[in-house]
Structure 1
Amino acid sequence: MGVFTYESETTSVIPPARLFNATALDGDELIAKLAPQAVKSIEILEGDGGVGTVQKIIFGEGSTNGYVKKRIDVIDKDNFVYKYSMIEGDAISETIEKISYETTLVASGSGSIIKRTCHYHTKGDVEINEEHLKASKEKSSHLLKLVENYLLEHQDAYN
């Protein structure tokens, strides 16, 4: 098994605590509300929403994927760290065992620095396509902008 790691960093005008509440603690439901074409439904298969919870996320008609199963690995509310893994579904192919994501939010002025690390656990020595990484980053950036705009328009949400 190989592991391909991809790191990215971006900024947000939203403070870490508020952004963490919206993205890590309620992210799937908020995205389903803000972009119903992206997420059709979310079902908890195991757990109570905390660490160890397994969810099945069914994507909307416009998505390139039909569904994924996501396992929550870490929720650290004090340090604004959220880790989860995609363990099954259309994003997982015969060459990828799982994809693990770690997001850390750090205060920066009145906003946040968002540090994201993705670990692609491959079967064998498979290399990850750069176009796939670019598309994934663009999708994440688009969803972050949706959440930021929502939080700016709804100042009382997720405080």
Structure 2
Amino acid sequence: MQGHVSQDTPVGVPAALIWDVYRGLELGRLVDKLAPEVLGRVEFLEGDGGVGTIAKLTLPPGTPGRGYMKERFTKIDDENRVKETEVLEGGYKDLGFDVVRIRLEIVEKDSESCMVRSTIEYEGDEKLADVVSHVNVKPLEMMAEIIGKHLCQNKSTH
């Protein structure tokens, strides 16, 4: 069984500006600074923000599962503004999925706005059909809103 969940979040900043944050380590740093109680704490275990980087997200209290998620950056496409990660342990892997990928794509709307398309792809045994409903992109949507708002308020300083 495989499937995906996706959500587009409008953001009032230029695509290039938000991509600069999303493509590397800055996204984790801003999540840590702006919303650790909502999205969790981020630490980088290895890598410099490029493909192969491993990040650990300590999830907020009350999150089901082990309370953390480790992911590896598997794709950073500057031309198409797409970043993909694969969950190594924790998170939705704890529900029993074999593969969990997160794709963040910045889609330009016009010179001053864009959308952050957040997608979670999963693969696993047919027995997981009843847990698929637990897979949601709400935290990624909230992250896009928080980062977008922060960048909007600080546009003049960039």
Q: Contact 1:87–1:97 at 8 Å: present in 2 too? A: no
Residue 106 of structure 2 corresponds to 105
Give the 3-state SS of the residue equivalent to 2:146 in structure 1. Answer: helix
Residue 18 of structure 1 corresponds to 17
Residue 30 of structure 2 corresponds to 30
After TM superposition, the structure 1 = structure 2 runs for residues 25-104 of structure 1, keeping only pairs within 5 Å, are: 25=24, 26-37=26-37, 38-44=39-45, 46-64=46-64, 66-93=67-94, 95-104=96-105
Q: Does 1:118 align with 2:117?
A: no
Q: Contact 2:31–2:42 at 8 Å: present in 1 too? A: no
54-63 or 74-83, larger mean C-alpha shift: 54-63
Q: Give TM-score, length-normalised by structure 1.
A: 0.81
Q: Contact 1:101–1:117 at 8 Å: present in 2 too? A: yes
Q: What is the identity, as a one-letter code, of the residue corresponding to 1:115? A: R
- Superimposed CA distance per residue, residues 51-80 of structure 1 (whole angstroms, 9 cap, x where no aligned partner): 012222222435445111111011112221
Distance 2:6 2:146 in 1: 21
Structure with bigger helix share is 2
Give the 3-state SS of the residue equivalent to 1:148 in structure 2. Answer: helix
Give the 3-state SS of the residue equivalent to 1:30 in structure 2. Answer: helix
Q: Give TM-score, length-normalised by structure 2.
A: 0.82
Distance 2:93 2:33 in 1: 25
- Superimposed CA distance per residue, residues 102-123 of structure 1 (whole angstroms, 9 cap, x where no aligned partner): 2221211221133333211213
- Pairwise CA distance, 1:138: 2.5
CA RMSD of aligned residues (A): 2.3
Structure 1 unmatched ranges of 5 or more: none
Q: CA 1:47/1:68 → structure 2, altered by over 3 Å: closer, same or farther?
A: same
Q: What is the identity, as a one-letter code, of the residue corresponding to 2:144? A: L
Q: What is the identity, as a one-letter code, of the residue corresponding to 1:78? A: E
Structure 2 unmatched ranges of 5 or more: none
Distance 2:21 2:90 in 1: 25
Percent identical among aligned pairs is: 21
Q: Contact 2:95–2:131 at 8 Å: present in 1 too? A: no
